[in-house]
Structure 1
Amino acid sequence: MRVHDVMVRPVVTVSTDTPVRRAAVTLTERGFAALPVLDHQQRLTGVLTSGDVLRAGESGPDVTVSEVMSTPPVAVAGHQDLTEVVRMLLGHGVRSLPVLDAEGQVQDMFSRGDALRLMLRPDETISAAAQVRLDDYFGPRRWFALARDGAVTVTGTAVGESERRIAIALVRTVPGVREVTLATRSSCG
């Protein structure tokens, strides 16, 4: 399994000129261990960790992220194997790593918590999470989700092609889902 197979959330970044205090608020409000730091060309230039903020102490309002961030940044590519990425997390002693796309742009952060969630996601949990997403969007039990080895089969009656696409997209947002297959019956209406 590759990193890009499990990344689903939008990334939150800060810029080099962001005040440390504002970045600290983002870290604490979102519950993140670190934030990728981007320069004015949107390139990864560092990582701001909770440890960096703590080491900065009671910094004044003029202290920016660029003054306290960890550099050079250690990052991974979205196509890298998860086993390799977990080894990097542990080997570098960090809690999270920026994930870069093919153009070198930050697309997500992968954390130790993400790795643990993947290890602990049995098919029953994936099935239940997929079912909740489908029920929340379409109404109770119009679609049924069943996972096996991370591959989810969704069954139900589709009202059109857009509904099929929405069902697939919803299920793909569940961490641990490797692939989605629809077994639908068409409905008139």
Structure 2
Amino acid sequence: MSKVISAHAVSVDGFITGRDPGAGRGLGDASMLFDWYFDGDTPSQVFGGFKLSAPSSRLFDALAARVGAIVAGRRTYDDSDHFGGGSPHPGARLVVLSHRPAPEITDRQRLVTTGVHDAIAAARQAAGGKDVGLMGGGVVTEALRAGLVDEVVLHQVPVLLGGGRPFFGELPEHVRLRLVEAVPAPGVTHLRYEVAR
């Protein structure tokens, strides 16, 4: 069965955006969270235009190749200018989880308004046996609360942003993680965890 994974670039102090993110402003003042996408000399085999370091490329491409669909929250969708009517991943379908209508949804995207369980079920169907990726702190937190996440990957960038949107929201109880892999690379440390059941 496919897995549900969350992979996000995050600051050491736990933020996935800087201050003042939003439509037309992207991640606010936190673009450095993604410098490692372009600071290397190894082209990504999945994402055209990405040139990563060799250690980042191995891990990033292995994860990206597993993903067949993405579930993104409405705020992430809006802040990312609707992903240009497509998906944040070149080979994955997009499912947008929202509690309100989204008239800008295209035929390459799907809107689910009935909760995280239904959004992940729709993404599993669209993924064709591949994994489902989660995008946005709100979606990840909802999926963790529901016990639906199998892996959490932190692409931890050595910066303290001091503000922005935190990766994780409040959870009703502890979620234990088991470290599977730690990959140090220029400008980022990749930490891959399994969610302990």
Q: One fold, TM greater than 0.5?
A: no
TM-score tier, shorter chain, comes to under 0.3
Higher relative contact order (CA 8 A, sep 6+): 2
Task: Give the alignment's TM-score, normalised by structure 1.
Answer: 0.27
Task: Return the structure number with greater helix share.
Answer: 1
